[in-house]
Amino acid sequence: MTSLLESVRQPRDLDRLSRAELDRLAAEIREFLIENVSRTGGHLGPNLGVVELTIALHRVFDSPRDALVWDVGHQAYVHKLLTGRHDFEKLRGRGGMSGYPARAESEHDIVENSHASTALSYADGIAKAYRVRGLTDRRVVGVIGDGALTGGMAWEALNNIAGGDLPVVIVVNDNERSYAPTIGGLANHLGTLRTTQGYERFLDWGKNALSRTPYVGGAIYETLHGVKKGLKDIVAPQGMFEDLGMKYIGPIDGHDVEAVESALRRAKAFGGPVIVHVLTRKGEGYEPARADVVHQLHQVNPKTNPETGLPFQITGTSWTDVFSEEMLKIGNDRADVVGITAAMLIPVGLHKFAQQYPERIYDVGIAEQHAATCATGLAYGGLHPVVAVYATFLNRCFDQVLMDAALHKAGVTFVLDRAGITGPDGASHHGVWDLSILQVVPGLRIAVPRDAAQVRSLVREAVEVDDAPTVVRFSKGSVGPEIEALERVDGVDVLRRAAKPHGEGDLLIVAAGPLAAAALEAAGQLAEGADGQEPIEATVVDPRWVKPVNPALVELARGHRAVVTVEDNGRVGGVGAAISQALQDAGVFRPTKVLGVPAEFQAHDERAAILARLGLDGSGIASAARTLLKN
């Protein structure tokens, strides 16, 4: 049988398909995704859940003339297929497609959206621009999950959209979860909508009663209208949206193409702001995903067995695993320690703590700003909160870290997972900003562990601080071998000493966290010499705590001709910049080279490949050191 998917190269190809063919196309898309994403890795469960919804969206709306904006964007694989992008061979790899919408890939990708709760703001702005330009025949559609609706920014956008008359269609893709089941009042409200028949049906019953029995029917119908507001709140909680001034359509079975298409056509014709509430099931059509009760194969690793949904190879212990185990031990030792996360309980490793201490864990939804300020309140109340989020998402609550936690000298520990170069998720998910943006926060202290032992040690040290916020950040993936220190000098770990009397040497390499291994490799290459070059003796140190700059680093620099700093973070305003400034302030003028990530967005690729390309591997560090000393 000829593949229908192969025949769909742009959205208008969907117009010629019959209902039966649309169902067949949906099945083919699911087979394609399971086969390909199991090989490359990526967001499988979310995309399996939006197949029919995406087909209906592209049949009703004329992309890119009508703007489709996806929130979070990880569920846009089906959208990519329907807009002609069938080459998934290198998905999320160098030279391949992004795992999120990407403007460089297609005119159908309006925004490169991969942080949650932003799509409705984009949609509001696009719709306003169309109005100003006189493009009144265009529609804007924001597709947002119920998980993303837990973010405050989404409600700021709703407030603005509802206050106007712009033709914005908001599709709430309600699958009861983000990474894991959605929590909070909004989740409860949508849950009520899922299980409640609409009050309009109750009114229809009154109309029918009137036609059958006019004497009593009229009274019934009049009574029903008299308590309409009460019925809206009790029988049909969609009143919350309608009271904002927005038309509500739903709930709709999101796996019925015809039903979704009908609802979307009604919304399109309305001409003002409309919410279409669509019920979908994450991982639909794939038993391993449906059987995964916790997150339904939200994201699968490369080389996953498509038959089972399990990886063919089991990787080593991750940085997250180490933190998770230590957090559990800390919870046992200290009853005042509590955990907070923003819809990432399992990914950041707080699930074991939650299982053991359910009364001491708070998942606030996709609301990092609230998490930071709530943590400040918890600290005021006599507890020590540990806020665990991805490093890239800390950017979203910088003001709360600065003006709430730090200003009040609150004893709050922020644990940043997926810090530094993360790899396949691309520009939006590399955690290369935190060491720079946090440098300006008065009193805040930052620790960067180099191995598992240091994760355990530094988290322990961080939660002992009760008069300032602390930060511990670590990488994504498997933690490497432990690196023993030769000695500790006033808190700074010396990992290698230059082979010269009194510890003096040609070069001091200051390595932040996991790049200590690459720095040691570079020191070995420098000591051997290469291509006729003179050997260079280097001392390698790990500061452990990188903010504030330890005075011991300044004294170590005095005994060396030059300094190289290495960090898995942006070069602008990061650890190296702070050390360079500290040396100048102390009158220690040494040639200094700051190695890190340039002020550019880094594309998706494997972490090791990106680090090597940026000169942050052993060879790159050694080459930079030779050039520095030569000049």
456 is catalytic: no
Residues ≥6 apart with Cβ < 8 Å to 88:
32, 36, 37, 40, 77, 96, 97
pLDDT tens-place string over residues 255-285: 999 999 999 999 999 889 999 999 988 888 7
Sign of CA dihedral 34, 37, 40, 41: negative
Q: What is the residue type of 616?
A: L
pLDDT at 71: 85
- List 416's β-bridge partners, or say none: 389, 473
pLDDT tens-place string over residues 469-482: 999 999 988 898 99
Question: Is it the case that residue 576 has pLDDT exceeding 50?
Answer: yes
Q: Mean pLDDT over residues 4-30, rounded? A: 92
Does residue 9 lie within any of the structural domains?
A: yes
pLDDT at 477: 83
Are residues 333 and 449 both part of a single domain? Answer: yes
pLDDT at 426: 74
Asked if 43 contacts 268 with a C-beta cutoff of 8 angstroms, the reply is no
Question: Is it the case that residue 17 has pLDDT exceeding 90?
Answer: yes
Give me the catalytic one of 396, 450, 496, 544: 396
pLDDT at 316: 79
Above pLDDT 90, what percent of the chain? 56
Give me the catalytic one of 282, 456, 473, 476: 282
pLDDT at 185: 52
Question: Is it the case that residue 464 has pLDDT exceeding 50?
Answer: yes
Give me the catalytic one of 368, 461, 537, 567: 368
pLDDT at 217: 44
Q: Mean pLDDT over residues 110-127, rounded? A: 85
pLDDT at 174: 87
Question: Is it the case that residue 227 has pLDDT exceeding 50?
Answer: no
9 is catalytic: no
Are residues 107 and 247 both part of a single domain? Answer: yes
Report the CATH number at residue 60: 3.40.50.970
Are residues 453 and 544 both part of a single domain? Answer: no
368 is catalytic: yes
Question: Is it the case that residue 105 has pLDDT exceeding 90?
Answer: no
Least confident stretch, 59-73, 437-451, 523-537:
523-537
What is the C-alpha to C-alpha distance for residues 364 and 328, in angstroms, rounded to an integer? 20
Are residues 70 and 116 both part of a single domain? Answer: yes
pLDDT at 303: 66
Does residue 521 lie within any of the structural domains?
A: yes
pLDDT at 628: 92
Query: Comparing C-alpha atoms, which of 383, 380, 333 is closest to residue 362?
Result: 383
Does residue 300 lie within any of the structural domains?
A: no
Most confident of 39-48, 180-189, 476-485, 538-547: 538-547
Q: How far apart, in Å, are the Cα atoms of 606 and each of 44, 471, 524? A: 19, 26, 25
147 in a labelled binding site:
yes
Question: Is it the case that residue 531 has pLDDT exceeding 50?
Answer: yes
pLDDT at 151: 81
Are residues 187 and 145 both part of a single domain? Answer: yes
Range of the domain at 123: 4-196+237-291
200 in a labelled binding site:
no
Least confident stretch, 133-142, 173-182, 337-346, 600-609:
173-182
Does residue 529 lie within any of the structural domains?
A: yes
Above pLDDT 70, what percent of the chain? 83
- Give the domain-ending residue among 248, 271, 291: 291
Distance in Å from the first CA to the final CA of the chain: 68
Q: Sorting pLDDT into bands at 50, 70 and 90, what band is 463? A: very high
pLDDT, averaged across the chain: 85
Strand ranges (DSSP E) for 213-315? 247-253, 274-279
Asked if 421 contacts 553 with a C-beta cutoff of 8 angstroms, the reply is no
Query: Model-level pTM?
Result: 0.79
Question: Is it the case that residue 311 has pLDDT exceeding 80?
Answer: no
> Cα-Cα-Cα-Cα dihedral of 78, 83, 86, 87, to 10°?
-110
Question: Is it the case that residue 219 has pLDDT exceeding 50?
Answer: no
Asked if 136 contacts 147 with a C-beta cutoff of 8 angstroms, the reply is no
Does residue 422 lie within any of the structural domains?
A: yes
Q: How far apart, in Å, are the Cα atoms of 179 and each of 168, 206, 402, 586? A: 27, 43, 28, 48
368 in a labelled binding site:
yes
Residues belonging to the chain:
631
Q: Mean pLDDT over residues 466-470, rounded? A: 97
- Give the domain-ending residue among 473, 500, 532: 473
74 in a labelled binding site:
yes
Question: Is it the case that residue 380 has pLDDT exceeding 90?
Answer: yes
Question: Is it the case that residue 130 has pLDDT exceeding 50?
Answer: yes
Q: Tokens 């009508």, residue?
A: 66
Asked if 482 contacts 452 with a C-beta cutoff of 8 angstroms, the reply is yes
pLDDT at 215: 41
Are residues 149 and 8 both part of a single domain? Answer: yes
Are residues 458 and 502 both part of a single domain? Answer: no
Report the CATH number at residue 524: 3.40.50.920
Are residues 373 and 246 both part of a single domain? Answer: no
115 in a labelled binding site:
yes
What is the C-alpha to C-alpha distance for residues 499 and 97, in angstroms, rounded to an integer? 48
Residue 174, classed as helix, strand or coil, is strand
pLDDT tens-place string over residues 551-570: 999 999 999 999 999 999 99
Q: How many domains does the chain have?
A: 3
Asked if 556 contacts 495 with a C-beta cutoff of 8 angstroms, the reply is no
Does residue 569 lie within any of the structural domains?
A: yes
What 8-state DSSP symbol labels residue 582? H
Are residues 546 and 409 both part of a single domain? Answer: no
Phi, psi values for residue 364, rounded to 5°? -95, 5
Are residues 364 and 512 both part of a single domain? Answer: no
Question: Is it the case that residue 208 has pLDDT exceeding 80?
Answer: no
Q: How far apart, in Å, are the Cα atoms of 88 and each of 85, 301, 402, 601? A: 8, 15, 42, 22
Least confident stretch, 187-196, 350-359, 423-432:
187-196
430 in a labelled binding site:
no
CB atoms within 10 A of CB 351: 19
Query: Comparing C-alpha atoms, which of 361, 329, 548, 338 is closest to residue 455?
Result: 329
Sign of CA dihedral 350, 356, 357, 358: positive
Does residue 381 lie within any of the structural domains?
A: yes
Does residue 532 lie within any of the structural domains?
A: yes
Sign of CA dihedral 76, 79, 83, 87: positive
Asked if 71 contacts 114 with a C-beta cutoff of 8 angstroms, the reply is no
pLDDT at 500: 67
Are residues 467 and 517 both part of a single domain? Answer: no
Are residues 464 and 537 both part of a single domain? Answer: no
